[in-house]
Amino acid sequence: MTRKTIVLIAAFVALGTATVGLVTAIVTQRGLILPLNILDLLSIKFTTSEMIDSWFGLAGHNKLISPSELGEPLKSFRNQWAKTNPTVTPFLGLWHNDGDGFQSLHEAYFLSIFPSQVQGQVCVLEYKDRGLLDVSILSLSTAKVISGQLLSSRLRADKSTIVQKDFYNGYPVEGYPVEILPVLDGQNEIYIFSSRSPPQLPPGFPEDLTSKVKQKLSDRGCTMD
């Protein structure tokens, strides 16, 4: 096992444990994780519009990763879960950002949001691998969905800020539908993500961590099915 993998495992275990403890406090002491307020939502919507225009414009000239098409597999997955855990369905899926200036999907920052058997709850896997010379992220947190807002100790999002818009890259001429999820992280930085597929492990995810992550998901009542 490489030193890099050992570091990722340590971060995964530490972040996972801390997050569960804090997210549980949403129910008992909601002041610990504040919901997004009107000013937050206005700021997110305004900033998101500019970020989408920038991403789509640069991706249209092959300078950034193109946003993924909102496809039928993800829609079907959400429709199935809407029967048993409807409040979480707008957030479910594997999401990726624009690659932060890189043109390979493997360089993107991923969120994979898995459904839970617990009502109003999801598991959020964050993953970004930039090698030994840059920052790598690996965390698994439990989040609550309350009044249309996804709330965890690591990020917050609101379903009212999710944007669906067509992306045009010159071919095909008619473009294709894209779904964008803005999130506010723990440092109040806004990131935008494009839905890609039903929730799953991201491309390039370390094979030696796969079984560990699947077990952690199961322990928290979440599923990849």
Segment 26-52, tens digit of pLDDT: 442 334 589 999 999 999 999 999 999
pTM of the model: 0.84
Q: Identify the burial level of 139 via C-beta atoms within 10 angstroms of its C-beta, where 0-12 means exposed, 13-18 middle and 19 or more buried.
A: buried
Q: What is the mean pLDDT of the chain?
A: 84
For 106, residues 6+ apart whose C-beta sits below 8 A from its C-beta are 129, 203, 204
Point out the least confidently predicted range of 3-7, 44-48, 216-220. Answer: 3-7
Show me where the domains of the chain are located: 3-219
What are the angstrom distances between the C-alpha of 16 and each of 68, 138, 141, 204? Answer: 28, 9, 5, 21
Segment 127-163, tens digit of pLDDT: 987 655 555 788 999 999 999 999 998 999 999 999 9
Q: How far apart are CA 113 and CA 121, in angstroms?
A: 10
Helices 3-28, 207-219: crossing angle, 10 deg rounding:
20
Strand ranges (E), the chain: 93-96, 110-115, 121-128, 137-146, 149-151, 155-158, 163-167, 176-185, 190-197
